[in-house]
């Protein structure tokens, strides 16, 4: 499969049926798997052999869909989780513990902000938030001896800041830490962060990958490029014996698959945010058309952004596809085919006017979601980012009047007509 183009991988990646097997990836709807001898199963528990025994840890449907996403991102190994939030938590917690520190872009999804600033803090993991557009010298200052991760989003939700991935990768590697990138909005169709130096990529598959707003899910993809052994004590969970598996050393035994093996056999084993195989089956159907849907989302969003940017009632529009946008040059470099189908704008008249306008939309629905086939709209300051103070909102790139508009794959003229009547 690795020789094929990304479109072919979307359709046919990972599942290669042999003679007489189902053409379509089947749902392995089973919690457990059968063995001939007690010893065979014991070897699985010791990680001496690869195989299925209990679906909390591994299930063939889940693994094959993870493998497809791994191919799309150009990674070495991947694992699905039951939501994007679980993927982020596991990705970080796999290499951080109490007493550790994270440097994180302040341009973040609201849920990730809460996870880092509230929940991880309770577990003893501190986060310093940085402005991703700051100069490297400024960003350097955030690093501490106990920093274990640099974290950012390719296209920030909802601030739509395009990340300078190379700058961040350089920064991370000069401090001997991996760069973890949330690639949910760009999708591997528009950007593959591993090519630009990211070490680990995570996804909320609930967005474009599913694409139909029907299933929550997440994915962690590891490039296999970060050399854990080079920093022995620092990443001791990977480089020193694990007593819960008779002293296995992940980085030695599993090489490029060490990080994903550990997150699977430790965190999934103990915390259990396993996706249902049914959901992975549906996710796979979404992935089959990802390469068709994403360009259409971008094409429609571009038309909507152009329409809004000249409208007299619109105060401002953020969309990296507009040549006047601050992030146009980074979009040209990292996602020349397009960034995503989401754009932001504010109405003249501020917050109240923006909210009143949303209520007038007919085709675009007010929902807590983005990035699916149906056009939808949300006011982050009242919804996803409601817990933040005005000051924190600005820091996260969320102006109080900001409307997040997720352009679907309907006819662009119909979407624009809906905006037109609501603006009137
Ligand atoms: C939605 C989202 C998440 C969280 O994913 P869930 O599947 O809702 O848990 C994380 N990151 C980004 C960028 C998102 O848009």
Q: Is the CB of 81 under 6 A from ligand 1?
A: no
Q: Is the CB of 183 under 6 A from ligand 1?
A: no
Nearest CA to ligand 1 atom 7: 84
With beta carbons less than 8 A apart as the criterion, state whether 305 and 282 touch: no
Residue 197 pLDDT level (bands cut at 50, 70, 90) = very high
Q: Is the CB of 61 under 6 A from ligand 1?
A: no
Q: What distance in angstroms lies between residue 341's CA and the mean position of ligand 1's atoms?
A: 15
Please choose from 92, 113, 116, 207 the residue to mutate so as to test ligand 1's pocket, defined by most ligand atoms within 8 A of CB.
Answer: 207
Which residue is listed with tokens 């296999």?
224
Residue 49 pLDDT level (bands cut at 50, 70, 90) = confident
With beta carbons less than 8 A apart as the criterion, state whether 192 and 223 touch: no
CATH number of 6-285: 3.40.640.10
Which of ligand 1's atoms lies nearest the C-alpha of 206? 7
pLDDT 10s digits, 348-366? 988 888 889 999 999 999 9
What integer pLDDT is reported at residue 355 of this predicted model?
Answer: 86
With beta carbons less than 8 A apart as the criterion, state whether 213 and 286 touch: no
Q: What distance in angstroms lies between residue 84's CA and the mean position of ligand 1's atoms?
A: 5
72 has pLDDT over 90: yes
Q: What distance in angstroms lies between residue 324's CA and the mean position of ligand 1's atoms?
A: 28
1 has pLDDT over 70: no
Average pLDDT for 295-322: 97
417: which 2 tokens?
A: 């007509």
> Which residue, 393, 372, 375, 376, is CA-closest to 384?
393
23 has pLDDT over 70: yes
Please choose from 106, 184, 280, 398 the residue to mutate so as to test ligand 1's pocket, defined by most ligand atoms within 8 A of CB.
Answer: 184
Question: Fold for domain 293-423?
Answer: 3.90.1150
pTM above threshold 0.85: yes
8: which 2 tokens?
A: 């072919």
Q: Is the CB of 109 under 6 A from ligand 1?
A: yes
Nearest CA to ligand 1 atom 2: 204
Residue 381 pLDDT level (bands cut at 50, 70, 90) = confident
384 has pLDDT over 80: no
Q: How many other CB atoms are found less than 10 A from the CB of residue 299?
A: 16
- In percent, the amount of the chain with pLDDT more than 90 equals 87
> Which residue, 85, 86, 374, 74, is CA-closest to 211?
374
Mean pLDDT of the chain: 95
Average pLDDT for 19-30: 97
Residues of the chain with CATH 3.40.640.10: 6-285
321 has pLDDT over 90: yes
Nearest CA to ligand 1 atom 6: 84
Strands 218-222 and 126-130, by their bridges, are unpaired
What is the length of the chain? 424
| Poorest-pLDDT segment among 131-140, 256-265, 333-342, 385-394 | 385-394
Q: How many other CB atoms are found less than 10 A from the CB of residue 51?
A: 12
What integer pLDDT is reported at residue 125 of this predicted model?
Answer: 98
Q: Is the CB of 372 under 6 A from ligand 1?
A: no
Residue 294 pLDDT level (bands cut at 50, 70, 90) = very high
Q: Is the CB of 85 under 6 A from ligand 1?
A: yes
- Angle, alpha carbons 302-108-288 (nearest 5°): 55
pLDDT 10s digits, 221-260? 999 999 999 998 999 999 999 998 889 999 999 999 999 9
Residues of the chain with CATH 3.90.1150.10: 293-423
Q: What distance in angstroms lies between residue 411's CA and the mean position of ligand 1's atoms?
A: 26
What integer pLDDT is reported at residue 350 of this predicted model?
Answer: 85
Q: Is the CB of 158 under 6 A from ligand 1?
A: no
Residue 400 pLDDT level (bands cut at 50, 70, 90) = confident
């Amino acid at each position: 499969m690795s020789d094929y183009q990304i479109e072919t991988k979307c359709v046919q990646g990972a599942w290669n049926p042999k003679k007489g097997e189902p053409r379509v990836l089947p749902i392995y709807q089973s919690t457990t798997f059968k063995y001939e001898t007690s010893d065979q199963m014991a070897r699985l528990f010791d990680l001496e052999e690869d195989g299925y025994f209990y679906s909390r840890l591994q299930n063939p449907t889940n693994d094959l869909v993870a493998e497809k996403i791994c191919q799309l991102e150009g990674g070495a190994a991947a694992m699905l989780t039951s939501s994007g939030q679980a993927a982020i938590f596991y990705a970080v917690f796999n290499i951080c513990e109490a007493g550790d520190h994270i440097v994180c872009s302040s341009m973040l999804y609201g849920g990730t902000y809460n996870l880092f600033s509230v929940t991880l803090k309770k577990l003893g993991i501190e986060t310093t938030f940085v402005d991703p557009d700051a100069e490297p010298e400024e960003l350097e200052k955030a690093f501490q001896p106990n920093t274990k991760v640099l974290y950012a989003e390719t296209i920030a939700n909802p601030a739509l800041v395009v990340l300078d991935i190379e700058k961040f990768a350089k920064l991370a590697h000069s401090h001997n830490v991996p760069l973890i990138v949330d690639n949910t909005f760009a999708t591997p169709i528009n950007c593959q962060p591993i090519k630009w130096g990211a070490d680990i990529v995570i996804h909320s598959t609930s967005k474009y990958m599913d694409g139909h707003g029907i299933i929550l899910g997440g994915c962690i993809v590891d490039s296999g490029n970060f050399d854990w052994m080079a920093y022995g004590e620092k990443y001791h969970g990977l480089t020193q014996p694990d007593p819960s598996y008779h002293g296995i050393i992940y980085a030695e035994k599993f090489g490029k698959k060490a990080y994903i093996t550990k997150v699977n056999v430790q965190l999934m084993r103990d915390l259990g945010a396993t996706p249902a195989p049914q959901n992975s089956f549906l996710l796979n159907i979404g992935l089959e058309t990802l390469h068709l849907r994403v360009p259409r989302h971008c094409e429609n969003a571009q038309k909507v952004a152009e329409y809004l940017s000249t409208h007299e009632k619109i105060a401002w529009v953020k969309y990296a596809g507009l040549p006047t946008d601050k992030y146009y040059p980074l979009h040209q470099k990292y996602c020349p085919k397009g960034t995503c189908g989401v754009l932001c704008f504010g109405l003249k008249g501020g917050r109240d006017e923006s909210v009143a306008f949303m209520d007038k939309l007919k085709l675009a629905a007010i929902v807590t979601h983005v990035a699916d086939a149906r056009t939808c709209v949300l006011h982050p300051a009242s919804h996803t980012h409601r817990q933040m103070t005005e000051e924190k909102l600005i820091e996260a790139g969320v102006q109080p009047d900001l409307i997040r508009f997720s352009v679907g794959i309907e006819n662009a003229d119909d979407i624009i007509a809906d905006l037109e009547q609501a603006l009137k």
